[in-house]
Chains A and B, each alone.
Chain A
Amino acid sequence: DAGVIQSPRHEVTEMGQEVTLRCKPISGHNSLFWYRQTMMRGLELLIYFNNNVPIDDSGMPEDRFSAKMPNASFSTLKIQPSEPRDSAVYFCASSLDRQGQPQHFGDGTRLSIL
């Protein structure tokens, strides 16, 4: 079975550019999560969707970050304009919407903003 698929795996871009990260959740999973991982802060939940609807975006750092889920099989996380402090590994995860179901993670996107 295909796992969570993220693209790109690596992204290097200059400060001020728009960055779009993509995620395809596991088929049948109706909850989708975006995380950011840094050395300083560890794993942080940015936003999560249930049935394509954003439920909790309290972790989104600021207005430069936005996320969408136009359908059950695709989500994007956009940063515009990007800044060097946005450099991190961004993970997408999905799960079934039932109590205690584990989240399954993609391989992550390693983002470097120069």
Chain B
Amino acid sequence: AQKVTQAQTEISVVEKEDVTLDCVYETRDTTYYLFWYKQPPSGELVFLIRRNSFDEQNEISGRYSWNFQKSTSSFNFTITASQVVDSAVYFCALRGYGGSQGNLIFGKGTKLSVKP
């Protein structure tokens, strides 16, 4: 069975702090894909990043970075120098290879509040 666990339900930080959102996944597939989505207070779901299981290089995009470690089945997301606009619910998701395209498994989400 596939599963995504985001153990942090809510995180609150003060602006300019760094914050890491944890994501741990379970899958028996050797090929799989991991995703992060952002859901701001306005409600839309915004795609942030995709990672495939063969690419363990860390990714950096501006203040955002992602650390993928197969050894610990984790795909953590770090925001450096957080800003109020980063306040949102962040979802980690997993999809195995083959099978149903619809089989995108979401975690429960982590609500990040960045206070000025």
Contacts and interface: CB of A to CB of B under 8 A. Distances in A.
B116 interface: no
A63 B108 CA distance: 27
Interface in B45-89: 45-47, 50, 52
Given A42-B109, A100-B95, A105-B45, A95 B35 contact: no
Interface residues of B, number: 23
Interface residues of A, number: 25
A114 interface: no
A100 B50 contact: yes
A19 B62 CA distance: 42
B104 A45 contact: yes
Given A48-B101, A97-B101, A102-B35, A108 B50 contact: no
Interface string A50-85: 100001100000000000000000000000000000
Interface in B30-52: 33, 35, 37, 42-47, 50, 52
A50 to B, nearest CB: 6
A105 B97 contact: no
Nearest to B51: A100
Contacts of A50: 101
Interface of A: 31, 33, 42-43, 45, 47-48, 50, 55-56, 89, 91, 93, 95, 97, 99-100, 102-108, 110
In order of increasing CB-CB distance, the 3 nearest A-B pairs are: A48-B102, A105-B45, A100-B33
Interface of B: 33, 35, 37, 42-47, 50, 52, 91, 95, 97-98, 100-104, 106, 108-109
26 contacts: A31-B101, A33-B102, A42-B108, A43-B106, A45-B102, A45-B104, A47-B102, A48-B100, A48-B101, A91-B45, A95-B101, A99-B33, A100-B33, A100-B95, A100-B97, A102-B50, A103-B47, A103-B104, A105-B37, A105-B45, A105-B47, A107-B42, A107-B43, A107-B44, A108-B44, A110-B43
